[in-house]
Amino acid sequence: MNERSPVWRGARRVVHALRLRGPLAADPTAQILYALVLALIIWSAIWTIATLPQYPNLIAKLVRLRFIIVADLVPVTTLIFLRSGYFRQAAYVYLTGQWVQATYNIAINGSIQITSTAFYITLPILATWLLGFKEAFWAAGVCLGSALILALRQVPNSVLPTAPLRPPLLIWANLVQLTLTAAVPLAHVLQTLRKTLEQSRSAQEELRRYKEQLEQVVEQRTADLVVARDQALAASRAKSAFLANMSHELRTPLNAILGFSNLLRDRGASEQQRHDLDIIKRSGEHLLGLINDVLDVAKIEAGRSILKATPCELGRLIEDVQDMVEPRALQKGLSLRVERPQAPLCVRTDPSRLRQVLLNLLHNAVKFTDQGSVILRVKATPSIDTGEVLLMFEVEDTGEGIATSDQAAIFDAFVQASATNRHEGAGLGLTISRQIVELMGGTIQLESVSGRGSRFRTKIKVQRAQESELKRAANLEHVTALAEGQKECRVLIVEDQPENWMVLERLLVNAGFKVRVAQNGARGVQEFREWHPQFIWMDVRMPVMDGVEATRQIRACEGGHDVKIAAVTASDYASEPGEILAAGMDDYIRKPYRPAEVFECMARHLGIHYHVGQPAAQSDTGQVGELKAEDLSALPDELRRELQDALIMLNPARIRTAIERISQQDPSLGWTLARYADSYAYSKIFDAMTIEGAATKRLAMPSGVDERP
């Protein structure tokens, strides 16, 4: 048929007008139900038109038409509900109409043995499709109950007219209606199931592809993580190597500063000089503590930083802090006041960490205060039951204060208050202080008003300590000599840095030890084979041969397992205790050397005892023989020039090397020169080497050289 013909266009208009509209137009189940009901209405109309002429008279035809009109009210109402968007109401009306029609047909026929009884089977199917399983059970119950009641009656009803048709044709008509009623929803369910299976297969295929893609992503991410891990490990090793090198470079000069300040203090210094040297020593030790903290950054980040609790006298610690801060406060015209308990209090804590916290707080207070005062308040609340002491430190200043908006971030790393940007500093002091306080199990709080000063309050709990513990910890600080009855003790120092071995050598010689020095590991092994010392101080990092390899070779020598070897190291990373002890060493100390640590270590391993006390002033040369010009004139010209050049350059390393070469030819002269060199009496050696004596010396020697042997 031509699509432009009036009939075709009219048919299209009719189909367009009859299609489902409204809110349910996109619902597939509603569309199928709408089409099913519309098809049943059309089928009912066709069947009525086809069978109406067969009725015998006009009254029968009118009764039949009235029945058809009443019966079609149900599907029409269903269509109206669907177009209005009421799906469940439409489903209930449709199911009820089907039940009424089936029951009517069975009732007028007087028997359930007709095809209309099959509607009782299709109704639960329709209910399942349209409403769900719960309504399907109710529909099945109603249908079975109705069938039971009608079966018990089995009485024909002749009131309503029936169609004068032969049973086969009537059965066929009912089968058409049953097919439309039951087959359509079943077909829809099967089609939906097929689509679901297809979607499931598609989903499984998509899931498989996604799984493969995910596995590829995981493999790639794993490979990236492995690369990142390797890079992080390499960076960590590089950082550790860098920190180890920096530790060595920083500790080496600091060792000389602390060592020579100790030696100067013990050589007849006045009271004021000793006080100044004590400040230098404490400041150097504080600098050493700061270096240790910087080098411990990686440990703190990894959660491996630990406290080293030792007995300390709280009052002395506060005095140390005051002495280190007071010069700067006086320079700015500030008053530094300390309010603390007068009674001595011995506690067990980490004094270097506690000192660092107090110094950070006090230095900040002085830095940000232009006029007025800075106050340090110390309160101690002992606990009788637990033996603990609650320490509270308050640092209060009259400075510029901290704005409320900046107080929340004041403890963050690299953060300074906005009003304080004119001050120098990296902004790490308060961050480190808070971490240390929290590591001690304490708290730190801030109270501040902008323009009116600040108050930092710190609380920590510590254990009490006995005064006897303090005395034992400090009684080896000033060793004057070996105790009577001690056997001769030979000590070998294996160290490449002159400023380090010179401090340690003088410390041990003054205490009565026989000392030799080797400036690398290979020389150390050779000295051990020739001299057989009882104790060796072994530097870990040296040229030619390091301390670890030298220790292994010494242990392999005859008598190597009897000698005690203690490592000295300036590194916090390359020389961990486990590695040192695994290399065959018996103990270790870190640079800078502290006299108490040195003597305590040797006493622990050799069982020796000391005389302890303030050293008496003594002649610089002691019993060293007089140095004569004729003794030096017998030396080869090369050695004399080498020694003279080293003296003019004031190079201790070259002087020591030249003296060692002289000792190989003349041990007595070498020993005398070494004693003069140990006392820095370079001018005496130079006088003996020059013909013109003092006149030539004044022309050649730099000014400021010590004239005393």
Under the banding of pLDDT at 50, 70 and 90, the label for residue 336 is very high
pLDDT tens, residue by residue, 628-655:
677 777 788 888 888 887 777 666 667 8
Describe the strand order of the beta sheet including 587-590 as a list of residue ranges.
514-518, 490-494, 535-539, 564-569, 587-590
Please list, residue by residue across 581-612, b when 16 or more beta carbons sit within 10 angstroms of its beta carbon and e when fewer do. Answer: eebbbbebbbbbbbbebbbbbbeebeebebee
- Check: CB of residue 619 under 8 Å from CB of residue 658: no
Instruction: From 313, 319, 378, 320, select the one nearest 348 (Cα to Cα).
Output: 313
Mean pLDDT of 616-632: 52
- Residue 190 tokens read as 């099967």
Question: Is pLDDT above 50 for 166?
Answer: no
Mean pLDDT of 398-424: 68
Under the banding of pLDDT at 50, 70 and 90, the label for residue 613 is low
CA distance 27 to 24: 5
Strands 346-349 and 310-313: antiparallel
Q: Which residues pair with 569 in a beta bridge?
A: 590
Q: Looking at 2-11, 138-147, 164-173, which range is the least confident one?
A: 164-173
CA distance 434 to 444: 6
- Residue 55 tokens read as 């009725």
- Residue 482 tokens read as 């070996």
What Cα–Cα distance (Å) separates residue 529 from each residue in 359, 522, 545, 557, 670?
A: 49, 11, 16, 8, 21
- Check: CB of residue 612 under 8 Å from CB of residue 479: yes
- Check: CB of residue 632 under 8 Å from CB of residue 644: no
pLDDT tens, residue by residue, 644-691:
877 776 666 678 778 878 877 776 777 778 767 765 566 677 777 764
pLDDT tens, residue by residue, 517-549:
999 999 999 999 999 999 999 988 888 898 889
CA distance 212 to 416: 52
* pTM for the predicted model, two decimal places: 0.42
Q: Is 124 left (phi over 0), alpha (psi -120 to 50) or beta?
A: alpha
- Check: CB of residue 585 under 8 Å from CB of residue 557: no
Dihedral Cα 24, 29, 34, 39, nearest 10 deg: 160
Q: What are phi and psi of 280, to 5 degrees?
A: -60, -45
CA distance 103 to 466: 107
**Helices vs strands, H then E, count in the chain:** 26, 14
Instruction: From 288, 283, 280, select the one nearest 255 (Cα to Cα).
Output: 288
Q: What percent of the chain has pLDDT over 70?
A: 74
Instruction: From 599, 596, 606, select the one nearest 487 (Cα to Cα).
Output: 606
Q: Looking at 219-233, 460-474, 554-568, 589-603, which range is the least confident one?
A: 460-474
CA distance 459 to 395: 12
In the 8-state DSSP scheme, what is residue 159?
S
CA distance 362 to 360: 6
CA distance 528 to 492: 8
Dihedral Cα 133, 136, 141, 147, nearest 10 deg: -150
CA distance 25 to 34: 10
To the nearest whole number, what is the mean pLDDT of the chain?
A: 76
Q: Which residues pair with 587 in a beta bridge?
A: 566
CA distance 195 to 201: 10
CA 485 to chain centre: 56
Q: Looking at 156-160, 387-391, 479-483, which range is the least confident one?
A: 156-160
Element (H, E) at 564: strand 564-569
Q: Which residues pair with 229 in a beta bridge?
A: none
- Check: CB of residue 609 under 8 Å from CB of residue 486: yes
What Cα–Cα distance (Å) separates residue 254 from each residue in 280, 288, 329, 421, 591?
A: 11, 8, 25, 31, 8
- Residue 217 tokens read as 């992503």
Q: Judge residue 118's burial from the number of C-beta atoms within 10 Å of its C-beta, 0-12 exposed, 13-18 middle, 19 or more buried.
A: middle
Question: Is pLDDT above 90 for 456?
Answer: yes
Residues 6+ positions from 212 with CB-CB distance below 8 Å? none
**Three-state secondary structure of 407-464:** HCCCCCCCCCCHHHCCCCCCCCHHHHHHHHHHHCCCEEEEEECCCCCEEEEEEEEEEE
The pLDDT score that the predictor gives to residue 691 is: 44
CA distance 183 to 234: 74
Q: What are phi and psi of 611, to 5 degrees?
A: -90, 130
Q: Looking at 360-374, 432-446, 454-468, 569-583, which range is the least confident one?
A: 569-583
Say how many residues make up the chain. 709
Instruction: From 187, 176, 181, select the one nearest 122 (Cα to Cα).
Output: 181
Instruction: From 153, 166, 173, 149, select the one nearest 110 (Cα to Cα).
Output: 153
Q: What percent of the chain has pLDDT over 90?
A: 12
In the 8-state DSSP scheme, what is residue 192?
H
The pLDDT score that the predictor gives to residue 473 is: 45
pLDDT tens, residue by residue, 544-570:
898 889 999 999 999 899 999 999 876
CA distance 575 to 501: 19
Residue type, 590: R
What Cα–Cα distance (Å) separates residue 73 from each residue in 182, 480, 501, 695?
A: 21, 126, 118, 143
- Residue 220 tokens read as 């790639």
**Three-state secondary structure of 24-41:** CCCCHHHHHHHHHHHHHH
Question: Is pLDDT above 70 for 425?
Answer: no
pLDDT tens, residue by residue, 125-145:
778 778 877 787 787 788 778
Longest dimension (CA), the chain: 170
Mean pLDDT of 460-478: 72
The pLDDT score that the predictor gives to residue 337 is: 92
The pLDDT score that the predictor gives to residue 59 is: 80
- Check: CB of residue 645 under 8 Å from CB of residue 654: yes
- Check: CB of residue 344 under 8 Å from CB of residue 313: yes
* Residue at token pair 């397992």: 561
Q: What are phi and psi of 240, to 5 degrees?
A: -65, -40
